[in-house]
A and B are shown apart, each in its own frame.
Chain A
Amino acid sequence: QKEVEQDPGPLSVPEGAIVSLNCTYSNSAFQYFMWYRQYSRKGPELLMYTYSSGNKEDGRFTAQVDKSSKYISLFIRDSQPSDSATYLCAMRNYGGSQGNLIFGKGTKLSVKP
């Protein structure tokens, strides 16, 4: 079992729909949780960043972390065709010499006009 599991999709929704993207993880030491958006042939772009459990909202995007269930979510409201991309969840431990992020495989999202 990989440390971070993410359904690769693809996920296709109509414009204006609410999108729910999810990841599960196995390492209870993870404290920082991120969502990156990656357009085709581009580098990942940081969308949301959350420490420990709870919710965080930024415009049309809401990130949720449930550490008791080892489950994180990203919700996109009023989805737009420009949201079509691959969404990567990523997480890491707190501090120490471990600097690296552990990524999911990414979910490919397509928003149809």
Chain B
Amino acid sequence: GAGVSQTPSNKVTEKGKYVELRCDPISGHTALYWYRQSLGQGPEFLIYFQGTGAADDSGLPNDRFFAVRPEGSVSTLKIQRTERGDSAVYLCASSFAGGGSYEQYFGPGTRLTVT
């Protein structure tokens, strides 16, 4: 079946602009996660949705970052007033549920470059 898909695959934006990154999880997966991966680092957690609600947003670095999942499927990560330090690969993952026993499957990521 189809895996996790993310669009766009690459996004170049100017400092100060607003960007939206989209994630389509695996069909039937109720849990969705956003991570950020900087060069040479492992992915770092940003936010986790169980259904439509954010169960844990403790990884969001500041209030410029916001994510929604209005119908419990597709999610959008929104970044306001982008800064050069936001440049990274933004990864989305999904799983059947949010508990520890469920495996997370990752999408290919969106490579964000802020110039």
Q: Chain A residues in contact with chain B, CB under 8 A?
A: 4, 6, 8, 31-32, 34, 36, 41-46, 49, 51, 88, 90, 92-95, 97-106
Q: Tell whether, in the assembled complex, residue A43 and residue B55 are in contact, meaning their CB atoms are under 8 Å apart.
A: no
Report the separation of the CA atoms of residues A36 and B109 in the bound assembly, to the nearest whole angstrom.
15
Instruction: Please tell me if the beta carbons of A97 and B40 are within 8 angstroms of each other in the complex.
Output: no
Q: Which of A93, A95, A101 contacts B45 (CB 8 A)?
A: A101
Contact status A32-B100, CB under 8 Å: yes
| Identity of the chain A residue whose Cβ is nearest the Cβ of B41 in the assembled complex | A105
**B72: interface (CB < 8 Å):** no
Say yes or no: is B79 at the interface (Cβ < 8 Å to chain A): no
Task: Given A31-B100, A51-B101, decide whether A105 and B33 contact each other with a Cβ distance below 8 A.
Answer: no
B104 at interface by CB-CB < 8 Å = yes
Q: Majority SS of interface residues in chain A?
A: loop
Assess the B101–A100 pair: CB atoms within 8 A.
no
Q: Count of B residues near A, CB < 8 Å?
A: 28
**Is B100 a contact partner of A103 (Cβ separation < 8 A)?**
no
Contact B55 A97 (CB under 8 A): yes
Contact of B100 among A43, A95, A105 (CB under 8 A): A95
Q: State whether B103 touches A92 (Cβ < 8 A).
A: no
A103–B106 Cα gap in the complex (Å)?
Answer: 13
Instruction: Return chain B residues, CB-CB under 8 Å to A42.
Output: 108-109
A99-B106 in contact (CB<8A): no
Interface contacts beyond A43-B106, A101-B35, A106-B42: sample of 19 additional A-B pairs, CB < 8 Å, sorted by A: A4-B42, A32-B100, A32-B101, A34-B103, A42-B108, A43-B91, A43-B107, A46-B105, A94-B99, A94-B101, A97-B55, A99-B98, A100-B56, A100-B59, A101-B43, A101-B104, A103-B42, A103-B43, A106-B41
